[in-house]
Amino acid sequence: METFVKALNTVEKEFDKLSKTPQSESLMRFASLLGELEGGLRELVQRMTKKEILIIIDKLKGGEELTTGEDALLKLWIVGDAEHYSKLENNYEDWANELKRLVNGICSLKGKELDIDLAMHLRALIYDATRVMDDLIYFTQHKERLERFIEVAEELDREERAHLVRILEQKLNSERF
């Protein structure tokens, strides 16, 4: 708990510094700090639930049914990040509207004479649209990953159980998985 509080204090302190002088280097350092914190939290959750996940692995290998709680823990380990991100994210509509605005801006220029200024303006619009698309794609991929897991997890066949066992064992044995 003390380490967690210390990490959040570091985030707060570094964000305060970043807010005063936002530069690409300080933004990248802050992103790295957040990435380290996220990875540490993932590993913490895995350590906290390792005993239960080992039981789930044995049940999957043996073809046994999982309890409701075990199903929930399996879901947490496989797509918990996607589920929580999908619930938390609230900018999807903003991104979709921004993309629509940018595409309309791009398309509104089709009757214009293409010169250097217009080409550069179009490049800027396209660059911004691509950036917004990255956010839309990231969100959609997480949502679809969650939906696929829920659909497949309804009735696991032997091959799917073996695949889940491999994923869980990789997660148990890797710091970055």
For the chain, the structural domain boundaries read 2-173
Query: Rounded distance, CA 79 to CA 81, Å?
Result: 5
pLDDT (tens digit per residue) in 53-78: 999 999 999 999 999 999 999 999 99
If you average pLDDT over residues 163-177, what whole number do you get?
A: 86
The DSSP secondary structure of 5-41, one letter per residue, reads HHHHHHHHHHHHHHHHS--HHHHHHHHHHHHHHHHHH
Q: How much is the pTM?
A: 0.84
